[in-house]
Amino acid sequence: MKHKRYQSGFFLVIMVIVFFAVSLLSLSWGQIDIPFMHVLAAFAHELGLPILANVTVTPEQQAVLWHIRMPRTIVGLMVGAGLGASGAVMQGIFSNPLADPGIIGVSSGAAVGAVLAIALGLSEISMFYMPVFAFLGSLLAVTLTVSLAMRHGKIPVMTLLLSGVVVGMLLGAVTAAILTVINEQKLQQYLFWTIGGLDYRRWEHVFLGIGPILGGIGIMLLMARHLNILVLGDIEARAVGMPVGTYRLFLLAVASMTTATGVCISGNIGFVGLVVPHMMRMLVGPDHRQLLPASVLAGGAFLVFCDTVGRIIVPPLEVRVGIMTAFLGTPYFLYLLRRTRRLER
């Protein structure tokens, strides 16, 4: 057992290094190339550190770094980390490796909110309308799903899954209905939102999301040990004295809120919440005390990496991150699925 602990500690250290390396890459690469040294120097100068004083950062580089790449990278790290953690928590709550926050209606609710904001023309008035509508839509959808599934104060997992599917279909129909009556330009705008992206993310987006996302991640990390029990199933968890309903509802709320915040500042980014925790489970095992921090780090690093690759793969165009996550994640996921022994029955 000691051996295993050491391994997962070691693994987390590697993940932290990867996390920062990918961030540096994302700050450095792009249409305007900023060498690593210049990125580091810009930080050092800003913080008043007496290192790298001989490296001069041009004002253009400075501007690109602070106003474009920094907020973009931070939003990516934040959203990716939030999606990774929420995905791991959802899979824990449902004891099912195929669960992700989308399964209880987070994304379909956000879509309805977004399309409403577009249809009403609000998205042209202020950039904040769409995120706020998407956020409210998700919360509404999750509330609807949970209250449909609730019986005598309990939420049976199977019923919750089914009501999630039903609510998803209903909201999908609502979205489709609105889409049929809006004009082409608005349709384009919606399509753009559906494929999540990190382009044009500013500091406003960072400030909008950082509270709920970091708070949510913090709470989820604190609850890691309880998730280990919840995963064992209703009866098993109750037999060791866990008030299952309360914990399940609470974790559901936290994971939904974190995902909804992510969706509202960067659009719908699939795949991260589903695949990152799954990958991490194969690498560090199912103990949420290792799985959750690993998913947080890997989620952030993965999303930013995808974004960076998407930025430079077909210049001068950008491939949106929602597309890249699927393209880059699938092969690696398949590779892990074939290689791993830990999930085999």
Partner 1 sequence: MDGERRMRNEEILAVKNLAAGYGSRHILKDISFSVGQGEMIGLIGANGAGKSTLLKTLRGILPLLEGKILLKGRDIYALPARKFAREVAYLQQHVEVAFGYTAREIVMAGRYPYLRWWERENAADEEIVDACMEYAGVSELAGQTMYAISGGQRQRVLLAKVLAQQTPILFLDEPATGLDVFYQEEIFRFCRELCAAGKTVLMVVHELSLAARFCSRLLLVGQGHILADGTADKVLTAENLTQAYATDVQVVKNPLTGHTEVFTMPEKSDRRKDRLLGIILDGTLSAGTAANQAELRKYGSA
Listed residue (117, 237, 100, 227) closest to 178, CA to CA: 117
Pick the closer one to partner 1 by CB: 69 or 226.
226
Q: Torsions phi, psi of 155, nearest 5?
A: -125, 90
Closest to partner 1 by CB, 114 vs 244, is 244
Burial (CB < 10 A; 0-12, 13-18, 19+), residue 148, is middle
Contact range with partner 1 by CB under 8 A, out of 8-16, 283-291, 295-303, 318-326? 283-291
Shortest distance in whole angstroms from residue 3 CB to partner 1: 8
> Hey, what's the torsion of the CAs at 293, 160, 79, 214, to 10 degrees?
-60
Q: Where does this chain touch partner 1 (CB under 8 A) — which range of 38-46, 179-187, 281-289, 295-303?
A: 281-289
| Type of residue found at 47 | L
The interaxial angle of helices 70-93 and 203-222, nearest 10 deg, is: 30
Least separation, in Å, of the C-beta of 106 and partner 1? 22
The yes or no reply on residue 226 touching partner 1 (CB under 8 A) is yes
Judged by CB under 8 A, the residue of 37, 98, 203, 238 near partner 1 is 238
- Binding residue for partner 1 (CB under 8 A) from 119, 242, 309, 326? 242
C-alpha dist (Å) from residue 77 to 23, 121, 128, 266: 8, 30, 20, 11
The answer to whether the CB of 26 falls within 8 A of the CB of 304 is: yes
**241 makes contact with partner 1 (CB under 8 A):** yes
Tell which one of 285, 323, 326, 333 touches partner 1 (CB under 8 A): 285
C-beta closer to partner 1: residue 211 or 233: 233
Which of helix, strand or coil describes residue 318? coil
Smallest separation (angstroms) from partner 1 to the CB of 207: 30
Rule CB under 8 A: which residues touch partner 1? 1, 4, 95-97, 222, 225-226, 228-229, 231-233, 235-236, 238-243, 281, 285-287, 342-345
